[in-house]
Amino acid sequence: MPGPLSSLLNARRALPVALVLLTITALLPARNLAWAGWFGTLVQTLAAPISHPVSRFIRWVVPAAPLVADEDAGSRAWRLRAEEFETLYLRERSANDRLLEQIALLQSGLELNPGLGVRQLATPVIGASSDLSSGLMSVRAPRGSNITPGTSIAVVEGVQLLGRVDSVRAMIAQVRPITDRSASRVEGVVVLGDSREAPRLRCSLAPAGDGTLIGPVENPAGLPMGVALAVGHRVRLSDPTWPESAQELILGQVASIQPNPEQPLRQMLVVRPLVDLSRVSEVVLRIPVSREDAGAESARTPAPAPVPREGGAPP
Amino acid sequence: MNWTVYLLALWLVLGLELSLKPALALGPTAIAPSLVLPLVIFVAMHAPSVAALWAAAVAGLLLDLTFPLALTTGGEVRVPGPSALGFTLASALTLNLRAMLIKRNPLTLLAMSIAGAIVAAIVVVALLTIRATYGDPIAFRPAPQLGARLLSSLYTGVAALLQALILFPMATLFGFTSHHAGHRRFTTR
């Protein structure tokens, strides 16, 4: 390749300079490397014409295996629908409880934060990191989508929580899955039954590094007769550090119950997500919008765009 | 060396690396082959030494930029350097050994890719570990990382063997001279 690039790349003197610069950047503190993210997004965008179609093809050939393997398409559709309505119901119930608390607070003269609406955006996964130790997932972030790091979340299969948006640059958002080693501990509840008054056990789960979550569960000693913690029970998010739109979403189902080595009277839960979160081809981002924005957006677009509050009006 | 062909090949394998790696990973582990490294080693086996080192640095830098490291404080950071330096060292290793190599044998690419991947893995883990010593908030655990990367190096050898079947017939497209390509090591006068 004749020209300045060729002469630079064949230059003997420039190489040591480049290597010294690379050594410096390799050791620079993270706070001084924000500029590298722009170049990273540029490289990912340039690689997307190859990585995106190949990813889609691979995930079509080897889809994320659902937990219920021998389920036909009809049953699966009904199960997903039932899970979705159960999630909506539980969220409404917890929202109702929260509202009751807020009313109590109002009566005592405290200020309230205005509630947030949620806009849903289906977006493809355009590739993983070049190093699988990262675990962060790159998804497309269309211009003007106003994805906000920290408060936007990603879900799959309607109700399975995938993770939280970690950063957004240009047209790519990085999602940190709940099962990634670097993800923080989450608080959840094990729902022991289908009824409205089904007992719940609190648990605190951390990523195990093998696609599961593991952590101690509340002592089930005080459960009513005939109700027991068992493999297969759904575990839902109930963590105040996560956005409202993520509450009651499914973290997974109990895969095994082990004795807690540190506390003999307590048990440890191993929770496996309903799908393999590392092999999803599309996610739904739930982006918080203010009520005013939600109203303005729905006025602009005739389509049923933002839901006033997530799950507020079941179809 | 024809840089246009090299950069096109690099673009292609980088795209494949970003998309195929999760599918090629062994179960839920981070053990997966590198598709970029065999290309770098292939170039180091045949290209002039300065060009080979540059090619390795560019490939490594692109991998660094597509490797978002999660921060314990939230967010992510791209660290340009570890893979670039690791790949350059792997390329230098190949350059030093290439006089003794049977360059037209695919098994040579396999062996050198494993060796190069081990060198690159050690450099990457070492540099990221040094960062952790001064309190950089990157979520990185050296011991499991090194284990996974060393096993990935062996897996990279398998990928290199398959890539050799594609890369070797393309040697002339890369503009490697017959001397560097090893076709005329013994000539008659």
Inspect the interface and report whether the beta carbons of A36 and B127 lie closer than 8 Å: no
- Residue at A237: amino acid letter: L
Inspect the interface and report whether the beta carbons of A136 and B63 lie closer than 8 Å: no
pLDDT grade for A312, boundaries at 50, 70 and 90: very low
Q: What is the pLDDT of residue A56?
A: 79
Mean pLDDT of A276-293: 78
Cα–Cα distances (Å) from B98 to A229, A310, B2, B92, B109, in that order, read 63, 62, 20, 10, 11
Cβ pair A132, B25 in contact under 8 A: yes
CATH of A106-180+278-296, one of 1.10.760.10, 2.40.10.340, 1.10.443.10, 3.90.870.30: 2.40.10.340
Q: What is the pLDDT of residue A81?
A: 80
Chain B residues touching A130 at Cβ < 8 A: 14, 17-18, 21, 36, 62-63, 66-67
Chain B residues touching A133 at Cβ < 8 A: 30, 140, 145, 148
Domain boundaries, chain A: 106-180+278-296, 186-220+231-277
The ipTM is 0.86
The whole-angstrom separation of Cα B186 and Cα B177 is 15
Strand-pair partners of A66: A275
pLDDT grade for B39, boundaries at 50, 70 and 90: very high
Q: How many CB pairs under 8 A join A and B?
A: 196
The whole-angstrom separation of Cα A312 and Cα A296 is 18
**Residue A290 pLDDT greater than 90, yes or no:** no
Nearest CA in chain B to A54: B19
Which helix or strand (DSSP H or E) is residue B134 part of? none
Burial of B104 (0-12, 13-18, 19+ CB in 10 A): middle
**Residue A91 pLDDT greater than 70, yes or no:** yes
Q: Which of A107, A128, A114 is nearest to A48 (CA)?
A: A128
Strand-pair partners of B6: none
pLDDT grade for B58, boundaries at 50, 70 and 90: very high
Cβ pair B62, B87 in contact under 8 A: no
**Residue A49 pLDDT greater than 80, yes or no:** yes
Q: Which of A268, A284, A275 is nearest to A253 (CA)?
A: A275
Is the Cα dihedral B137, B142, B148, B149 positive or negative? Answer: positive
Chain A residues touching B83 at Cβ < 8 A: 131
Chain A residues touching B26 at Cβ < 8 A: none
Q: How close B187 comes to chain A (CA, Å)?
A: 28
Instruction: Give the CATH class of A186-220+231-277.
Output: mainly beta
Per CATH, A106-180+278-296 and A186-220+231-277 having the same topology is answered yes
Cβ pair A19, B57 in contact under 8 A: yes
Q: What tens digit of pLDDT does each residue of B121-151 get?
A: 999 999 988 988 887 888 777 888 888 899 9
The whole-angstrom separation of Cα B128 and Cα B124 is 6
**Residue A305 pLDDT greater than 50, yes or no:** no
Q: What is the pLDDT of residue B34?
A: 92
Cβ pair A242, A164 in contact under 8 A: yes
Cβ pair B13, A51 in contact under 8 A: no
Rg (Cα) of chain B, in Å, rounded?
Answer: 17
CA angle A258, A260, A266 (to 5 degrees): 100
Q: What is the pLDDT of residue B31?
A: 87
Q: How close B189 comes to chain A (CA, Å)?
A: 32
**Residue B9 pLDDT greater than 70, yes or no:** yes
- Residue at B184: amino acid letter: R
pLDDT grade for B61, boundaries at 50, 70 and 90: very high
**CB under 8 A, 24+ apart: contacts of A1-4:** A1/B2, A1/B3, A1/B4
Inspect the interface and report whether the beta carbons of A43 and B79 lie closer than 8 Å: no
- A260 in helix, strand or coil? coil
**Residue B50 pLDDT greater than 80, yes or no:** yes
Chain A residues touching B62 at Cβ < 8 A: 43, 130
**Residue A248 pLDDT greater than 80, yes or no:** yes
